[in-house]
């Protein structure tokens, strides 16, 4: 499979630019602002979380017709509880291999 045709490259760039104006669920931040916010959080706390939200959701208006948003989550609000019987490890549900599947309370 070769490179994408120029027309598709332009469409992707246009959609990316339009989506970047309002990529997150609150509508308060542009993509560069959100990236800086999340970087500061990561540098300060050592971790940062984001939830990917996609699909047609009544309370969210798609940017550029793209039904995809990010929800930035402060690590301070993640419960640090563990429950081995429910595969909950420090606020994160894990699978049989220990890979994260869901954040508790989200």
pLDDT at residue number 29:
97
pLDDT at residue number 106:
58
pLDDT by residue for the chain (106 residues), tens only, comes to 678 899 999 999 999 999 999 999 999 999 999 999 999 999 999 999 899 999 999 999 998 889 999 999 988 887 777 888 888 887 788 888 888 887 776 5
d(CA 98, CA 40): 27
Residue 36 · residue 5 · CB < 8 Å: no
Residue 18 · residue 63 · CB < 8 Å: yes
pLDDT at residue number 28:
95
């Amino acid at each position: 499979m070769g490179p994408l045709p120029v027309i598709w490259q332009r469409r992707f760039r246009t959609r990316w630019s339009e989506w970047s104006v309002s990529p997150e669920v609150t509508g308060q931040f542009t993509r560069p602002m959100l990236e800086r916010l999340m970087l500061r959080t990561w540098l300060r706390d050592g971790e940062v979380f984001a939830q990917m939200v996609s699909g047609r959701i009544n309370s969210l208006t798609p940017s550029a017709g793209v039904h995809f948003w990010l929800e930035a989550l402060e690590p301070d609000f993640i419960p640090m509880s563990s429950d081995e019987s429910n595969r909950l490890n420090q606020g994160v549900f894990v699978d049989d291999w220990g890979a994260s599947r869901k954040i508790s309370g989200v």
